[in-house]
Each structure stands twice: as structure tokens, then as C-alpha cells.
Amino acid sequence: MSLDTKKCRLISVPADFDDDSLQGFFDELNLAIGDEPLEIALDCSPLEHATSRHINALWDALTRCERAGIAMRLTSVAYGLRRVLSVLDLTELFTIEYEGDRENRMPHAPVKGRVSERFEVEIDAKIDAVTDVMAGLRTFLERLDLTEIGVFDLETVFYEVATNICRHSGLEQHRKIRFVADLSEDEISFEFTDAGERFDPTGNTPEFDPHLAIRRRQSRGIGLVMIQRLMDSISYDRIGREYNVVTLRKRLTPGMEVVE
């Protein structure tokens, strides 16, 4: 069924927001706003995982539409985006149409068979290399006695931290990020080591009140807030003058439910 473009313009949200795709998205959005439709719909179906970069872009898009007096809604919103918006208490900011009739609910049945072991890998400092590692990480996480939501949350934290290192550390793409997921009896830790520019994510913990953030259109610091809400602790070390080491920990309980 075709859309009446005078009433509604449909724009797809890229799965990976590198600088070029981000600019392309906003170029298309600005052209659509210039045509003054009654509504702009953002197709979010490509977003299996959503990062703070996606949230910032959607927030910016909403601000531009509101300033132009144009309604905006998110369509085909799958679990990944819904979960991140829920963790940040931002679902009320957007008009949302969920994907299908499941309302994107993931199964809560725990995956059995926790064992003490670790997952270790070196990743090229580029986004597609991070994406390639996701399948191996999921296989490892599925051995834990977690709900599917718990597995998803840990994947989300990995993707957020790893892609931020790729974008902001200053590393050339052939340089490596070392990642270790270490499982103990009641805790899992994620450790990221890179030789990029010094950056301490614990040095400036932002205050984040979602209701104030919505009114003020605050966007900075969203990624750290999301990580803090999904994990139990985060620490940082600088080894010599060369390496950043970020360690995140989450306590595990058998068949744990993750609050939505």
C-alpha cells in the first residue's frame, strides 16, 4: 500500500550509524520536513540492537519535527529499541508502533547450564568487526542460567561499549580491542582493553532524570546511563601510558528476571 506523501513521509533508520549514514539520515529527514507533510514515520525495523547513538538521533529527529510543527512516530519497533527506551524511561517521549502483535516480548524462560569459563576475543577497531563477534558472544551467554532478556541486556552493553571505543578512541581500524567475558559462580564481568586515547567513563557520572531530560532535550550521557542501569558496577584503569581497561560487572542469580 502506497503512502500519501503529503500526509506522511516514511524514512528508514539505519542499523549502523556511522558518520555517513547518520548524515544521510538527517539529509533525508530535512528534505521531508521541507515538504511539510502532516507526519513523518521512522521505520525502525532494521534496529535489532539500539545504542545511545540511535537514541540521540531519534531524539534529534523528534526535536526537528516538533520545531516544524510535524508529528513524528516510530514504526516497526522491535524489542531492541523498545528495551533501550524502557531502560532509559524514555518511552513516553515517542509515539511508538510496535512490530507485529507480540509487542516485542522476548521469552522469559531461563537458558539452563551455567558453567565457569570465559569468552575472549580480539576485535578490529571497526563497527562491522564488533557486529561479527555478536554471534560468538551470544553462544557464550546462552550457556548462562539467564532469561532471554538477561542475555539481550548483556549483548546490548557489549555493543554499546565496543562501538563507542571504535568511534571515539582514535584507534586505527587495524588496531585491536581485547574483550574478555569472565564468568564466576554468581557474577559475570566484561573487560575491554584498548590502546586508544585516555578516557575514563567513571570520571563524570551524569545525573539523568528522564522527565527533566525530556523537557530539556538532554542527550549527552545517555550511553553511560544505559550501561549503569543494565550492569551493577563499572571501573576504569589506565595501564601505563598506553592502555585503557574498562571493567563492568553484573551479579547473576539462577533464572534471574531482568526488570523491564
Share of the chain above pLDDT 70, in %: 81
Res. 239: pLDDT tops 60: yes
Res. 25: pLDDT tops 90: yes
Same domain, 128 and 23: no
Give which of 26, 73, 76, 93 is closest to 53, Cα–Cα. Answer: 26
Same domain, 143 and 234: yes
Identity (one letter) of the amino acid at 67?
A: R
Task: Write out the DSSP string of 139-197.
Answer: HHHTTSSB-HHHHHHHHHHHHHHHHHHHHHS---TTSEEEEEEEE-SSEEEEEEEE-SS
pTM above 0.85, yes or no: no
Report the pLDDT value the prediction gives residue 258, as an integer from 0 to 100. Answer: 40
Same domain, 243 and 176: yes
Report the pLDDT value the prediction gives residue 43, as an integer from 0 to 100. Answer: 96
Same domain, 132 and 208: yes
**165 located within any domain:** yes
> In sequence order, what are the residues at sequence separation of 6 or more whose Cβ sits closer than 8 angstroms to the Cβ of residue 189?
180, 181, 182, 247, 248, 249, 250
Domain region containing 46 = 8-98
| Last-in-domain residue among 98, 126, 151 | 98
CATH number for the domain spanning 196: value is 3.30.565.10
Same domain, 136 and 244: yes
Q: Quick one: average pLDDT of 48-68? A: 89
Mean pLDDT of the chain: 83
**112 located within any domain:** no
How many domains does one find in the chain? Answer: 2
Report the pLDDT value the prediction gives residue 142, as an integer from 0 to 100. Answer: 84
Lowest-pLDDT range of 68-72, 116-120, 207-211, 214-218: 214-218
**106 located within any domain:** no
Same domain, 59 and 150: no
Report the pLDDT value the prediction gives residue 103, as an integer from 0 to 100. Answer: 43
Share of the chain above pLDDT 90, in %: 45
Report the pLDDT value the prediction gives residue 41, as an integer from 0 to 100. Answer: 97
Res. 140: pLDDT tops 80: yes
Report the pLDDT value the prediction gives residue 242, as an integer from 0 to 100. Answer: 87
d(CA 26, CA 39): 16
Res. 205: pLDDT tops 60: no
**109 located within any domain:** no
Res. 114: pLDDT tops 80: no
d(CA 47, CA 27): 20
Same domain, 179 and 224: yes
Report the pLDDT value the prediction gives residue 3, as an integer from 0 to 100. Answer: 56
Same domain, 246 and 212: yes
Same domain, 237 and 133: yes
Lowest-pLDDT range of 42-51, 115-124, 140-149, 212-221: 212-221
Res. 210: pLDDT tops 70: no
**2 located within any domain:** no
Same domain, 124 and 243: yes
Give 110's strand partners. Answer: none
Res. 44: pLDDT tops 60: yes
Res. 28: pLDDT tops 90: yes
Q: Quick one: average pLDDT of 142-149? A: 79
Find the helix or strand (DSSP H, E) in which 245 lies. strand 243-251
